[in-house]
Amino acid sequence: MSGSEENKLNKKLLVLEINEIPWRLIDRFKNHPKLSNIKKFFEGSKTYTTVITDVKRDLDEAKLVRGKSREGKDIVIDSGELSPWITWPTFHRGISSNEHQIKFLGQDISTFKGKAIWQDFIDRGYNIGVCGSLQSWPPLYPGNNGFYVPDTFAHDERCIPNYLEIFQRFNLDQVQKNGLVVRQKELLSKEFFQLIFLLPRLGITFSTLIQSFTQLLMELTNKNHLARRTTFQCILFWDIFKSLYSVQDPPAFSSFFTNHVASLMHRYWHDIFPEDFKDFKVIRKSEHLSAILFGLEILDNIFKDAMSFLEKNPDITLVFATSMGQDTIQYSSYEGFSAELENINKLFKIIGINPNDYKPLLAMVPQVAIEVKDPIIRKQINKALNSCFTSSGKRLFSVDEMGNSVSITIHNPTYDDATSEVFTYNLGNNKSKTIEWNLAGIKMHKLDVATAYHTPEGILAIYGKGINPDDSRKKIDLTECKSILLELAFSQ
């Protein structure tokens, strides 16, 4: 085949990146009367089970998640390796995490290896449309009729087209303010009022506005309805995506990422699969199951819209991917508290780091990301944070460094450590000082234990013209997905 024939586009891909949904959840709900489009999609799809095979199993206790599976087996997982900001680059780049070297949110992009799939389309002369795919910052020129909206942990608000930047600024502001818990008061910011006047141009529909205001009213009457708040990021972004996506002449490659179901599963898995928790005390609430169903109804509407695109333009092929999954976990060491490094400036003032020596970046709790250009300062930060211990003598932080970027993870304390309200900073030469949590910008949240955790098995499903339905769910390595999609797009 000649070079020009290799680059001839056969199918235009629309990839729905629905983070961490496992087959078990699909099978539990696909026959639900409100989820008919999910059922239709999977009945007409060629299906795979993706598997991550390069997860490290080291014994560094600071990074491990420990618990029991639904079968009662011990779970020991390196939470640093089996994380969405690592697994999605594996999906996009077609190489293992050991090869692409992407380790954490906020990482210096000069340390990234390999090529994301959308870059392959650009290199072959085709336009792209990226919306929220993890580790997609900074935006690339997407070609005529293309668009590029980086993920919600981007270093800045830059988007293409640039009129989206005010929405992205609002989005990044909300991510920064609502780290571990959703706060009612944080929604009403300066960016929120600026955004109101831009809603029609963004493509935000009247139906979405009604849903949003109804949600706010529900929150005022019952705080349990805050559980639904995170799903509205997906609703808003899907409206924006639809306004950018030309069904008649779509980009050769498009992606849309959402985490809305994954975040609900982590917290409320026990409400979906109560049979897994007969010997494990968890509080079940009707609002929790309602929130899960609400999240799945949003997904069902996305399928409805996306499959209607294919009816109007059969050149589009719809792809559903999750990068990995979730399943039951019963934590063996969780004692009711989660720690959040809410104000890194306070902590760094205590350990003697000048505010001009670092730049805070966005990351997902319990991680905090910063940019530090001076290697001497990075070494000083690393040494200081590794000298912080809880009252019982456990290390409080772990630190990862790649290029100019530093990722700081604060570990969940035991009940006694959390309620002691202090930690110890070892100064060397047998000297130390005791520091209160709040003075160091650390906040302890009393939270219900999460009941689901990441698993290496995920979903890849392909739907469209010429795709023969196949529910065999053949196992493939996650690194194979990129080549499958490229072959789908360019094979003759």
CA distance 55 to 97: 8
Residue 60: predicted pLDDT: 41
Per-residue pLDDT at 411 exceeds 60: yes
CATH number of 3-332+451-490: 3.40.720.10
Cα–Cα nearest to 254, from 302, 183, 203, 326: 302
More confident site: 484 or 365: 484
Per-residue pLDDT at 77 exceeds 90: no
pLDDT tens digits along 216-265: 676 677 666 666 677 888 999 999 999 999 999 999 999 999 999 999 99
Residue 2: predicted pLDDT: 40
Residue 210: predicted pLDDT: 80
488 Cβ contact list (under 8 Å, min separation 6):
10, 11, 13, 317, 462
Q: Indicate the domain borders of the chain.
A: 3-332+451-490, 337-446
The residue-averaged pLDDT of 294-305 equals 96
For the full predicted model, state whether its pTM sits above 0.85: yes
Tokens standing for 62?
């600071």
Q: How many CB atoms lie within 10 A of CB 73?
A: 8
**Full 3-state SS string of the chain:** CCHHHHCCCCCEEEEEEECCCCHHHHHHHCCCCCCHHHHHHHHCCEEEEEECCCCCCCCCHHHEEEEECCCCCEEEEECCCCCHHHHHHHHHHCCCHHHHCCCCCCCCHHHCCCCCHHHHHHHCCCCEEEECCCCCCCCCCCCCCCEEECCCCCCCCCCECHHHHHHHHHHHHHHHHCCCCCCHHHHCCHHHHHHHCCHHHHCCCHHHHHHHHHHHHHHHHCHHHHHHCCHHHHHHHHHHHHHHCCCCCCCCEEEEEECHHHHHHHHHHHHHCHHHHCCCCCCCCHHHHHHHHHHHHHHHHHHHHHHHHHHHCCCEEEEEECCCEEEECEECCCCCEEEEECCHHHHHHHCCCCHHHCEEECCCCCEEEEECCCHHHHHHHHHHHCCEEECCCCECEEEEEECCEEEEEECCCCHHHHHHCEEEEEEECCEEEEEECHHHCEEEEECCCCCEEEECEEEEEEECCCCCCEEEEEEEEHHHHHHHHHHHHHCC
pLDDT tens digits along 444-485: 988 777 789 899 999 999 999 999 999 999 999 999 999 999
* pLDDT, averaged across the chain: 88
CA distance 175 to 80: 20
241 Cβ contact list (under 8 Å, min separation 6):
129, 131, 256
CA distance 83 to 228: 23
Tell me how far CA of residue 394 lies from CA of 53, 108, 222, 386, 456, in angstroms. Answer: 31, 29, 38, 10, 29
Residue 180 pLDDT level (bands cut at 50, 70, 90): very low
Residue 413 pLDDT level (bands cut at 50, 70, 90): confident
The residue-averaged pLDDT of 428-436 equals 91
CA distance 418 to 336: 9
Residue 130 pLDDT level (bands cut at 50, 70, 90): very high
The residue-averaged pLDDT of 189-215 equals 73
Out of 220-224, 420-424, 425-429, least confident range: 220-224
Complete edge-to-edge strand list for the sheet that includes strand 397-402: 359-361, 367-371, 405-410, 397-402
Complete edge-to-edge strand list for the sheet that includes strand 128-131: 147-149, 128-131, 253-258, 12-18, 316-321, 457-463, 46-51, 470-477
Per-residue pLDDT at 319 exceeds 80: yes
Residue 12: predicted pLDDT: 98
Per-residue pLDDT at 183 exceeds 50: no
Cα–Cα nearest to 367, from 133, 104, 62: 104
Residue 107 pLDDT level (bands cut at 50, 70, 90): very high
Cα–Cα nearest to 67, from 460, 329, 366: 329
Q: Are 204 and 238 in contact (CB under 8 A)?
A: no
Out of 211-225, 266-280, 350-364, 380-394, least confident range: 211-225
Tell me how far CA of residue 490 lies from CA of 4, 162, 249, 273, 320, in angstroms. Answer: 11, 31, 17, 41, 19
- Ramachandran angles phi, psi of 204, nearest 5°: -70, 120
Residue 430: predicted pLDDT: 87
